[in-house]
Amino acid sequence: MADSSITRVDVLAKALGKAKYTDDLKFDNMLYLKVVRCPHPHARVIGINKEKALAIEGVVAVLTATDIPGLPCQPKERPILVPEIARYAGDGVALVVAESPKAALEGAEAVRVEYELLEAVFDPEEALKTGAPLVHGDNNVAAQSKVCKGDVEAGFKEADLILEREYNTHRVEHAPIEPEVAIAVPTFEGITVYCPTNSPFQVRQIVAETMAMPQSQIRLFQPTIGGSFGSKCYDAGVLASRAALAAKLTGRPCKIVYTREESIVESTKRHPYKMKYKVGVKKNGKLTAMEVKIIGDSGAYKSKTPFVISRSSIEATGPYVVPNVHTEAICVYTNNVTSCAMRGFGSPQVAYASELLMDELAEKLGIDPLKFRRINGLKDNSLSATGQVMQNVTLDECLDKLEQEIKWSSRKAELKQQDKTGSIVKGLGLACMYRGESFGSAGQGSDYAGATLQVQRDGSITLYSAMSEVGQGGHTMLVRVVSEVLGIKPSRIFVSPVDTCYVPDSGPTVATRGTYVIGNAIRLAAEEVKAKFAEVAAEELGVRPEELVFKDERIYCPGDPSKSISFSRIAAQCYLKSKSPYGYGWWSPPVGSWDREKGQGEAYSSYVYGACAAEVELDLDLGKVEVMKFVAVHDVGKALDKEEVKGQIAGGVSMGIGYALMEDLVVRQGVVKTVNFDEYLLPTSLDIHEIIPVIVEQPSSYGPLGAKGLGEPVMSAVAPAILNAIADALGTRVYDLPANLEAVLDKARAAKGRCCND
């Protein structure tokens, strides 16, 4: 590493309170927006009476779908404002534009909307039945995906033990601390939108479609982003379009900022899944067959559901060799709030189910759960569930490190001896994970990234990409790659803000593709600069370009130290000699074969692996679970910054603890009940105890400098490791998430033979 001690490029302004987030921006003559939302889960809009709202002082306009010049939405997507049918309790019906936030709020309360209530459906299984209310078109299927390998019936016949289990995972909120916000400013040329989003070009496309304007006339600028975790894509597109619509029609800058309540009611969530697993295993621990049925709740609109469900079906068996597999996954429209991508993108749900299953199988066979994972775990040249020959598999290495760090066998033995007569019991559990990087061959859409470098005359460098710095350190990662390739200090490199007017399209910052895909694009850009600079330097030094090395801010000939020139000088020479100082990179991952019918082929070109263990203390009287120690081992390929890696792991573990134990977005009859952080509980500092990150570095064949993605993978194994530890402590299992006080207390009472009046 050229300089591993540099701090992140974005943090100084943030620590000083000087970073400008969207809501911090002010424009002269700005108007404020408030959305009028349908309170019913399924309704037809019969009439909208704007009169009373327009009579309020400060209200400038009340906009509805008929004011939209372009498309309110693509088919089956969430409309900017509903043209006729509201499909969930939160769909936007009208938009009040006012001189102040207060007038906008009063205006929104004064808009009278007449609805015809329609029959609604909330349960995905009900929604699939004939005669169920239809959310879109002539059936409620949002997406399906299959993986079929071998012959499961034959596999079950070979088995000594067959286990059937059902697991339910719940709906959770992304909850970045910055709520959704957008500002649109009309300009002579078009519209400039300021919006925190992880998908700048996609949001720009949605705005352009809404406004029936060419994409190039919409300029999307990303101010500092206050977290995303997958949420600021479609949600941001809807918000940005509402602001753009109001700005265009009023000719004034318009700001829309959600309260936390609006954010929770309207924004997308993680898909809740019901998963039925049937698995066959031999006495020696070898898996013979697995049949998986997944039914997910897509909510009212499509969003990224097809991509989430295809990933779930591919990864449903976990990182194990299963000779015969039949997985059918389906996501269904309901009149619930919409589900979309969230950190892990379809992985955490199936990791949860498959890891609880592995643990129970090990228990039933009397095999140590860690050893059981080794027996079945993927290794180099193993065939995955999709029939892919796996390479660069590091599951065993992750398990080795986990075993050492937590002293698995001895700690297990110690806990076995614990006194279980008191109210506190302890348990130890583990879980493994794997995850394909980026969109993959299974058709999550086209996958590409462009990135540009311009070396300035003084040798400083401007870096252009659409990498969204959502807090994960993405911009710093790009800087490190460039610094490494060109042998220069990171401080030479300035990362341009993301502005779709100037930066190349790098695709969205989702699906574990930031480091992998955008990182490679910037690597190519840096290599282009390197080649151009080598030409110029070779001429200056009288050597051949291939003799030159770029290191320590210099370009030199290792064989002859006198042949050396500074990077800055070559930068100046480029301009003097009219040579291009630009580098441009365009990269897309290798795409393997994919049989969509059977779900067979090279699903992803690269995979990451991890193994985690949780030690819990469980209060039998309260049902409260404390995760006292969490060891998270992850293969990151190459750690571009170890402290940053630790931060990603600790953050992911913390979010995973929330997923496992406390977070629960409660929706009753389509209405969200937990609308702020007093009811929707996020982990606080008091809920997090010891987190030990352990890094495995097995260089990736494709990642930039061997690096692999990390932000999403760290979520996957957390909840199952905790639930397995709870099972270890209780001697009985919680199968459904979350394992909150009630769920755990229920099991604890049953386990202890206590009654409710105890």
Partner 1 sequence: MDKVKVNMFVNGKPVSLEVKPYARLLDVLREDLGLTGTKEGCGVGECGACTVIVDGETVNTCLTLAASMDGKHITTIEGLMENEKLHPIQEAFIKHNALQCGFCTPGLIMSAKALLDSNPNPSTEQIKVAISGNLCRCTGYEQVVDAIKEVAEKSK
Nearer to partner 1, 276 or 646 (CB): 646
Please say which residue, 18 or 598, places its beta carbon nearer to partner 1.
18
For residues 551 and 370, give the distance between their C-alpha atoms in angstroms, rounded to a whole number: 45
Residue 556 pairs with which residues in a beta bridge?
A: 549, 564
Q: 179 or 377, CB closer to partner 1?
A: 179
How far is residue 16's CA from residue 744's CA, in Å, rounded to a whole number?
43
Least spacing, CB of residue 267 vs partner 1, in Å: 14
Q: CA-CA distance, 487 to 549, in Å (whole number)?
A: 9
Residues in the chain: 758
Interacting residues toward partner 1 by CB under 8 A: 7-8, 10-21, 23-24, 175-179, 224-229, 259-261, 470-473, 643-644, 646-647, 649-655, 676-678, 682-686, 688, 691
Between 471 and 599, name the residue whose CB sits nearer to partner 1.
471
Closest distance to partner 1 from the beta carbon of 170 (Å): 18
**Of 191 and 225, CB closest to partner 1:** 225
- Sheet arrangement for strand 690-696: 424-436, 607-619, 624-635, 690-696
- CB of 681 vs partner 1, minimal distance in Å: 9
Query: CB of residue 657 vs partner 1: minimum separation in angstroms?
Result: 8
- Max CA-CA distance within the chain? 90
Q: Are 243 and 182 in contact (CB under 8 A)?
A: yes
Q: Which is nearer to partner 1, 124 or 519 (CB)?
A: 519
How far is Cα 352 from Cα 347, in angstroms, rounded to an integer? 8
Q: In this complex, which beta carbon is closest to partner 1, that of residue 16 or of residue 755? A: 16
Query: Could you tell me the smallest distance in angstroms from the CB atom of residue 550 to partner 1?
Result: 28
Q: How many CB atoms lie within 10 A of CB 473?
A: 26
In terms of CB distance, is 194 or 702 closer to partner 1?
A: 194
Between 19 and 128, whose beta carbon lies closer to partner 1? 19
Give the whole-angstrom CA distance, residue 295 versus residue 272. 9
Question: For residues 583 and 451, is the Cβ–Cβ distance under 8 A?
Answer: no
Burial of 250 (C-beta count, 10 Å sphere; 0-12/13-18/19+): middle
Least distance CB 474 / partner 1 (angstroms) = 10
| Angle (CA) 188 246 304, round 5° | 105
Degrees, nearest 5: CA angle 107-108-109: 90
Q: What is the residue type of 435?
A: R
**Shortest distance in whole angstroms from residue 648 CB to partner 1:** 8
Is the CB of 164 or the CB of 690 nearer to partner 1? 690
User: Considering beta carbons, is residue 19 or 383 the nearer one to partner 1?
Assistant: 19
Edge-to-edge order in the sheet of strand 85-86: 85-86, 43-49, 112-117
Q: Tell me how far, at minimum, the Cβ of 743 lies from partner 1, in Å.
A: 23
Cβ neighbours of 498 (radius 10 Å): 24
User: What are the two backbone dihedrals, phi and then psi, of residue 194, each rounded to the nearest 5 degrees?
Assistant: -100, 120
Q: How far is the CB of 178 from partner 1 (least distance, A)?
A: 4
- Output 8 or 492, the one with its CB closest to partner 1: 8
Structure tokens at 638: 């190459």
Token pair in block for residue 608: 């990451």
β-strand pairing of 461-464 with 493-495: parallel
Looking at the Cβ atoms of 23 and 291, the one nearer to partner 1 is 23
Nearest to 319, CA basis, from 688, 749, 724, 720:
720
Q: Work out the angle at residue 412's Cα, subtended by the Cα atoms of residues 406 and 416, and round it to the nearest 5 degrees.
A: 150
* Shortest reach from residue 63's CB to partner 1, in Å: 25
Q: Evaluate whether 522 touches 478 at the Cβ level (below 8 Å).
A: yes
Q: Tell the smallest beta-carbon distance from residue 645 to partner 1 (Å).
A: 9
- Closest separation in Å from C-beta 328 to partner 1: 34
How is residue 320 annotated by DSSP? B
Other beta carbons within 10 Å of 51? 10
Q: Provide the terminal-to-terminal Cα distance of the chain, rounded to the nearest Å.
A: 61
Residue 758's beta-bridge partner residues? none
The residues near 227 (Cβ < 8 Å, ≥ 6 apart) are: 174, 176, 177, 178, 470, 471
In the bound complex, what is the minimum distance in angstroms from residue 265's beta carbon to partner 1?
A: 14
What count of other Cβ atoms lies within 10 Å of the Cβ of residue 298? 32
What is the smallest separation between the CB atom of 677 and partner 1, expressed in angstroms? 4
Encode 146-159: b = buried (16+ Cβ within 10 Å), e = exposed: bbbbbebeebbeeb
User: Which one, 473 or 519, has the nearer CB to partner 1?
Assistant: 473
Of the pair 232, 492, the CB lying nearest partner 1 is at 232
Separation of alpha carbons 744 and 203, rounded Å: 42
The least CB distance from residue 286 to partner 1, in Å, is 37
